[in-house]
Structure 1
């Protein structure tokens, strides 16, 4: 179900006041240069349009372009001759190149639309392919005709490596679903499919030399050579590289089932069904281990032509190494000081094998070691500091921290995630006339040890600034410091856990409250510090070292993702990540991004065939027992899946953190964030700042009335399906919140106030509603809190 038609989305963009440097065209990623003529006009299209290509053969790309224009317009296009003269869309390619995309492929293009037609000019086929996606995003079905706006675009990417990791190991992904994601990647100008093919829970490709891998460790779900070649062909035609990943030496439980003799402990081993960091690890001292690695590299190199091959290398549990006397003796004889040195020994041997097959090594942070050559590429899940250290030491790196799309997170959080590590800009330099206060805190988590750290708030020259220190991590500046009262303060900081908003209450020298990790409250406690703590400075490479940062990858790990909800988890958020990797660093206005993302969300469902809306409709239909799904769509407006890793940790606590845990809850059908709640926050902000803003007040009332009118129908659906029963209290809470919202909206609109006792009572209701229930959060609590604070006596 599309929330808006393409026409409506386009009109919304055209009438919005949007900030530079990105403008009001429905484009994502935003191009490097966009120029509109002083006298704006449009090129009217009809079903006689034609396309010509000169300079190179784009294979079936022209046919795909015509097909998608037909989808966007609803036309049946008139047949055209090959390369017709005076074509509506003329594509000129300067040089013919190998159609196999490479790291240094030239993706530059210019696109000109005026009264004379459309002209695309590119140095190579890759620039032409990117230009065609931009062109498709510009097609507008207007009130009188279908047209393209007059515009001149000159475009090129900021980073050459713009990837997406798909995990087929945890939950198998059928070929058609992978192809659809490749289409989405092409539309977003992403150019690397990182295909995670092996892990503890499954080996997903055939091996001629080691057939037991799929016979014993795949549950019959794997890809044949022909199928993998088909994915390479499909991606190549769209200008996308495919980099396969086999995980070594850790994450080896599947190998252990098939070939236990390669492991560092004798077993026996059974198929691993639980998620987590597990103990099976290859034995780096055995020649048979390297024969296995040689076979895997050889077989993959024959299928995947890309210059890079990913060897994993992350999260190695060294228990088996430490408990194996032969391995310990080997380390002593080879002067290997610790397990990291042993893994580096393994990787040096593996790098030699890769070099033999003309492949370069990619691996996660843990492979980084000075004994390895500078030709390796480090993919960082540990963050900008780790990546900054990689760049400073002359190694190439790409970033995935902050781009984990398997985590439900606000799109703005991913959008703010900068590849190049940032400094503190002296925010922690305390001058003589500054007043600083520092507080230690402890934050228990649902899984793992508590987080400890401190934050410091500084008042200087009438303004507040501050920073936060998590134990063992570098210092970060905080934003949006808001003293809600003399005893309560809030601020924002982006962390590896997502958007983090502490709400701290001060009682003498003690603090309480919570850290809002995304949309989930994690209670904290702490005390005042006598002195400002010494922190760890961020690792910031200099300008020349920053050239070692090649880009980044979004990651969609599959512990909580199965094919029927794949698109819901990935799109449209991946477009925002793609923009961070393609567009200029100063294209960073989140409101502008959300306005364009709304249009792209609808466009991608029509033009690209992405299924984020249709998959949700299917899931809601299942949950509604084939009844009317409208009540679930309305309920979803108020609700978001619990963010950060909250859902995984709750499953872990319940003993359900495994491969067969059903992903069939209401939470699984939800997008990462509610666009309605985001709009409500904007309306609440406007109403609080201007009580006479009747439009915002009316919009809020409309939403609250809709929720109240939906309650009985939503409760009936909860009774009809056991999978929805746990949502019944959530529906009842949403009904209560709607009543509170109507009252608060009216109070703020007439500048009324509540006494402290009433405010405290309503706050208790909101606090209760904010708790996680059945892995979801009623995110509507937060705009209501803004309205509530506005009713306090000023």
Structure 2
């Protein structure tokens, strides 16, 4: 029987723990149907393997397949005949189509592995390309040989639009780095590269008609027409569409520098270096503005063959419109009631230009307006309610909220993010025999307005349930309600900020405590309400309207991202988004996902050439001033970058929220979440529920001991580079935490307890360790807190 070494933090996921429908094969996204024969076997491979293709030309895909097999096995493959007699891998394509991928390209395929070899059948080349990635994921170097398991896979995507946004405007991305991300996209079966080419801080698209855009507003960092065509060719060969975005009418600071006459307020303007929503906006009343838009669309349409073109349209600051008397008179003359109507007027004219060049409009939420045709596509950053309303009104939409990979978040948070808006299923209906309590809350943020709202907890015969109302947003059900004592309660809810866990004290009709947003603590205050708030119900389209939901896109905005850390931010997390967009809705077991995600991490490093590990190592070497970076690697097990937008907001408070803020901290080299801490949470929970779980106790002791032993070496490295000195207190806190963890793990294992005074003293130490330092969080505080709670004498 063939075994798969899919390890998570050193533990093999046993077959009894496997999810249904996802199984134990190292596949991601999980296919629509996987069938294993009753008599399991394996097809043993060797360096003589050969590949045949019939029905269509796959270009260089076969050569790339063989090259990657060589990388995965370490073999030098023997040359194959042009038409091998008995090919190991047979690819049969039913019909020949244009190699340019389209929104309705057929990506279905069947892959069969048995004693006779590998057979791939697909209607088009696009299905064959997806099957090749699945095949490569299945190749395993086992204890005795390299082989493929016998299997039959029938596969097709759930959604046709599965995208990734790369932001080249805020920080320029070199071509080779973009190509590598396209390789990663193809490996994850993502099929749309959304290329963000312009924004306030830079114009990266070389225009022949308006050359001052790159002469004055790019710092010399831009792509020529030939370079952009090269990206399109590269992506096309891998079945990936390229949709360019130029932002109009807002995010126009770069246009203002080059052509101030197009802007709604007189200049002069300088290159914008700061992040945020800025004032320059195109003047929709000038014919010159539409001549500019016509030129941009014409030039882009000549380079990018995709039927869609993204016009941005988000975050328009209308201050300049309101202060311009001519624009205000134009609005009165044309019966335009407000700035939203003026933007819709602009978009209607822009849509006509796009139609002339055989392109369809894509834009962010703000372009939605009933005056625009149903052919437009809305990309939502405002969430499922906005997307649900779009679908209900007959417009097509895609989701990006919850898929922002520039925000460090747990992969599980992105994985739980469902495209189709979900209802409450009656969770907020209070029955006569229910007991409900509601509380207001205010959560100040480091930048922007406080987050405000209320939550309601309901006690019923069946147990506790609850819901939360954020001001301006629809009601959400909450999960995992736990009363830690008579006055402290915690629960979880996925919000636009990330996974949010209130840890609050309710006493004397006052609310205190904090919201744990991702891993960052935000203090809150509030009070008890006399009545349950009415709230706003989620917008849930019906089954027919849900057909308007085309899929979604992961987004990697670049305020906190530069090319040397690009892969760290994206991979392997983007595979979880890809699975949510490709696989069936009921493929959602988080533990199983993490097991397969680790397999993808290994596979993409070897087979695809992604650089998440080499980029981290390069950062560690620079920070340590030596190649002996093991102490920094061990330290990283306990840490995570501060999640949500905490790092951006800290930079804002420090006056460093701008383009030239160095992204060279230890935090920049860290993955979004610590796999070690995630596993420690499980060990701690298992030990608390079963004190005789010696395996979990020993695993925790091993990690804590390793961290203690690492302290002196890590402190020595922190003196080697001024950029590393800021984490010296973090190293010392990790050492203290390891000592506490060792003691608590032993105490829980022998079912010992502590008195309230000592628990309070330790909790104070943990609260201090949980504070953000140099933009990092000691995430290991939380499994230690789990152990501490178990020592309370009940």
In 1, the alpha carbon distance for the partners of 2:515 and 2:529 equals: 19
Which residue in 2 is equivalent to 1:222?
222
Which residue in 2 is equivalent to 1:136?
136
In 2, the alpha carbon distance for the partners of 1:83 and 1:109 equals: 23
Which residue in 1 is equivalent to 2:695?
695
CA-to-partner distance for each residue in 1:140-162, whole Å, 9 max, x for gaps?
00000000001100000000000
In 2, the alpha carbon distance for the partners of 1:215 and 1:524 equals: 48
1:256-405 map, 5 Å: 256-405=256-405
Which residue in 1 is equivalent to 2:32?
32
Which residue in 2 is equivalent to 1:681?
681
Offset of 1:176 from its aligned partner?
Answer: 0.2
- Contact in 2 for aligned 1:16/1:24 (Cα 8 Å): no
Distance change >3 Å, CA 508–CA 8, structure 1 → 2 = closer
1:405-444 map, 5 Å: 405-444=405-444
Offset of 1:761 from its aligned partner?
Answer: 0.4
Matched, 1:549 2:578: no
Offset of 1:554 from its aligned partner?
Answer: 0.1
- Contact in 1 for aligned 2:109/2:128 (Cα 8 Å): yes
1:227-238 map, 5 Å: 227-238=227-238
Offset of 1:462 from its aligned partner?
Answer: 3.5
- Contact in 2 for aligned 1:457/1:464 (Cα 8 Å): yes
CA-to-partner distance for each residue in 1:236-288, whole Å, 9 max, x for gaps?
00000000000000000000000000000001100000000000000000000
In 2, the alpha carbon distance for the partners of 1:763 and 1:139 equals: 48
Offset of 1:788 from its aligned partner?
Answer: 0.3
In 1, the alpha carbon distance for the partners of 2:118 and 2:72 equals: 17
Which residue in 1 is equivalent to 2:585?
585
Offset of 1:498 from its aligned partner?
Answer: 0.1
Q: Secondary structure at the match of 2:681?
A: helix
Q: Secondary structure at the match of 1:606?
A: helix
- Contact in 2 for aligned 1:13/1:25 (Cα 8 Å): no
- Contact in 2 for aligned 1:380/1:386 (Cα 8 Å): yes
- Contact in 1 for aligned 2:277/2:317 (Cα 8 Å): yes
Q: Secondary structure at the match of 1:723?
A: coil
CA-to-partner distance for each residue in 1:557-607, whole Å, 9 max, x for gaps?
000000000000000100000000000000001011001001111100000
Which residue in 2 is equivalent to 1:737?
737
Which residue in 1 is equivalent to 2:489?
489
Matched, 1:242 2:242: yes
In 2, the alpha carbon distance for the partners of 1:731 and 1:445 equals: 27
The number of residue pairs the alignment matches comes to: 791
- Contact in 2 for aligned 1:434/1:460 (Cα 8 Å): yes
- Contact in 1 for aligned 2:6/2:12 (Cα 8 Å): no
Which residue in 2 is equivalent to 1:203?
203
In 2, the alpha carbon distance for the partners of 1:18 and 1:637 equals: 26
1:748-767 map, 5 Å: 748-767=748-767
- Contact in 2 for aligned 1:49/1:88 (Cα 8 Å): yes
- Contact in 2 for aligned 1:7/1:141 (Cα 8 Å): no
In 2, the alpha carbon distance for the partners of 1:598 and 1:14 equals: 15
CA-to-partner distance for each residue in 1:463-484, whole Å, 9 max, x for gaps?
1100000011000000000111
Offset of 1:83 from its aligned partner?
Answer: 3.0
Which residue in 2 is equivalent to 1:596?
596
In 1, the alpha carbon distance for the partners of 2:252 and 2:685 equals: 51
- Contact in 2 for aligned 1:251/1:316 (Cα 8 Å): yes
In 2, the alpha carbon distance for the partners of 1:627 and 1:313 equals: 46
1:152-167 map, 5 Å: 152-167=152-167
CA-to-partner distance for each residue in 1:391-435, whole Å, 9 max, x for gaps?
000000000000000000000000000000000000000000101
Offset of 1:455 from its aligned partner?
Answer: 0.3
Offset of 1:213 from its aligned partner?
Answer: 0.3
CA-to-partner distance for each residue in 1:598-630, whole Å, 9 max, x for gaps?
111110000000000000000000000124100
In 2, the alpha carbon distance for the partners of 1:649 and 1:12 equals: 39
Unaligned runs of 5+ in 1: none
In 1, the alpha carbon distance for the partners of 2:191 and 2:313 equals: 23
CA-to-partner distance for each residue in 1:659-700, whole Å, 9 max, x for gaps?
000000000000000000000001001101111111111100
CA-to-partner distance for each residue in 1:58-95, whole Å, 9 max, x for gaps?
01000000000000000000000123122100000000
In 1, the alpha carbon distance for the partners of 2:238 and 2:429 equals: 50
CA-to-partner distance for each residue in 1:288-314, whole Å, 9 max, x for gaps?
000000000000000000000000000
In 1, the alpha carbon distance for the partners of 2:296 and 2:684 equals: 57
Matched, 1:44 2:44: yes
Distance change >3 Å, CA 140–CA 10, structure 1 → 2 = farther
Offset of 1:19 from its aligned partner?
Answer: 1.4
Offset of 1:18 from its aligned partner?
Answer: 1.2
- Contact in 2 for aligned 1:13/1:26 (Cα 8 Å): no
In 1, the alpha carbon distance for the partners of 2:61 and 2:306 equals: 21
Offset of 1:14 from its aligned partner?
Answer: 6.7
Distance change >3 Å, CA 630–CA 16, structure 1 → 2 = farther
Offset of 1:17 from its aligned partner?
Answer: 2.4
In 2, the alpha carbon distance for the partners of 1:582 and 1:266 equals: 48
Distance change >3 Å, CA 47–CA 11, structure 1 → 2 = farther
Which residue in 2 is equivalent to 1:503?
503
Matched, 1:530 2:530: yes
In 2, the alpha carbon distance for the partners of 1:310 and 1:16 equals: 46
Which residue in 1 is equivalent to 2:194?
194
Unaligned runs of 5+ in 2: none
- Contact in 2 for aligned 1:252/1:281 (Cα 8 Å): yes
- Contact in 2 for aligned 1:6/1:141 (Cα 8 Å): no
In 1, the alpha carbon distance for the partners of 2:219 and 2:441 equals: 46
In 1, the alpha carbon distance for the partners of 2:328 and 2:509 equals: 51
In 2, the alpha carbon distance for the partners of 1:128 and 1:9 equals: 34
What is the root-mean-square deviation of aligned Cα atoms in Å? 1.2
Q: Using structure 2 for the length normalisation, give the TM-score.
A: 0.99
- Contact in 2 for aligned 1:6/1:140 (Cα 8 Å): no
Q: Using structure 1 for the length normalisation, give the TM-score.
A: 0.99
Q: Secondary structure at the match of 2:331?
A: helix
- Contact in 1 for aligned 2:491/2:503 (Cα 8 Å): yes
Structure 1 segments, 4+ long, off by >4 Å, are 4-11, 13-16
Q: Secondary structure at the match of 1:177?
A: helix
In 1, the alpha carbon distance for the partners of 2:6 and 2:170 equals: 36
- Tell which deviates more after alignment, 715-724 or 575-584: 715-724
Q: Secondary structure at the match of 2:148?
A: strand
CA-to-partner distance for each residue in 1:489-514, whole Å, 9 max, x for gaps?
00000000000000011122101000
In 1, the alpha carbon distance for the partners of 2:284 and 2:83 equals: 58
Which residue in 1 is equivalent to 2:473?
473
CA-to-partner distance for each residue in 1:110-154, whole Å, 9 max, x for gaps?
000011100000000000000000000000000000000011000
In 2, the alpha carbon distance for the partners of 1:118 and 1:208 equals: 50
In 2, the alpha carbon distance for the partners of 1:16 and 1:67 equals: 36
In 2, the alpha carbon distance for the partners of 1:238 and 1:85 equals: 27
Which residue in 2 is equivalent to 1:114?
114
In 1, the alpha carbon distance for the partners of 2:686 and 2:675 equals: 17
- Contact in 2 for aligned 1:10/1:599 (Cα 8 Å): no
Offset of 1:742 from its aligned partner?
Answer: 0.3
